[in-house]
Copies of this chain bind each other. A is one copy, B any other.
């Protein structure tokens, strides 16, 4: 993609086709994508990033849809990045496909992108960041990043979000015990979705008890627990209020700036390490690797000795 001045202007003007093409370009041209991202970088930094994570089946998509609708009604432009770490079927722009977008202002002010993650070992965060940068440069006021699951990738994505919402359902009771520590570290807000189901109050009590026991520290703002039934649009306005209140807290306390610094640091580390990998695995080193696998299998050498050889030690 030739990022002409015209194309840059189209992107920062919010032209959807050019945004789509730019995203596809950076996804398919990992070696040259920095050219695109460099020219857009000075336009980034304005979007506020909301992460929505939680176990599969918690209704994250429905919650996202509700938030998008509310934000657009309030006059904001919104980007959505839906990360599904397990589906190879996502990958294209799904605008209007996933969300019930009948209102024309929704169609106009929302950009949705689904991303698959398999095969991009360790690169998920990087890719999400790249797409985030383009949406940010395109004038989005809010970017919602929706991720499935409870693994390391979610924790990584959480680090790139300004506010992280953890969505659970009443049935997640067992899960909480298992993952309470991780959740409590990343959550700024908890949502109990499908809260008309049995067990909602128990899970809220359980969560509040755990939150009560939380170590005091930098994040000395109380973590709220919000009940929603997103499929009926119940409680989602309260959720948005809470997100906006967390945003304000971060802005006035100076924590947002601190977060942004740490996000930049992580971004550079990732870019550098992807570069290191790509440089190292040239044809010669790939060949050495290939030729030694059977020797290791036969215990003639071992992975550590081979690594030293590859490093030229």
Contact = CB atoms under 8 A, between A and B. Distances in A.
A109 interface: no
A299 interface: yes
B87 A181 contact: yes
B57 A174 contact: yes
A267 to B, nearest CB: 5
Interface stretch (A17-25, A117-125, A227-235): A117-125
Given A299-B42, A303-B268, A311-B272, A175 B55 contact: yes
Contact of A86 (B38, B84, B178, B304): B178
B153 A294 contact: no
Contacts of A257: 297
Given A85-B182, A152-B153, A155-B118, A277 B275 contact: no
A219 B104 CA distance: 47
Interface stretch (A7-15, A245-253, A258-266): A258-266
Interface string A15-41: 000000000000000000010011001
Number of copies: 2
Contact of A299 (B45, B88, B121, B174): B45
Interface residues of A, number: 73
Contact of A181 (B89, B156, B281, B289): B89
Contacts of A150: 55-56, 85-86, 148-151
B306 A181 contact: no
Contacts of A306: 268
Given A174-B56, A261-B297, A304 B37 contact: yes
Given A297-B260, A299-B45, A268 B118 contact: no
16 contacts: A38-B304, A42-B299, A42-B302, A57-B172, A85-B151, A86-B150, A118-B181, A121-B156, A148-B150, A151-B151, A260-B297, A264-B296, A265-B293, A268-B307, A272-B311, A273-B280
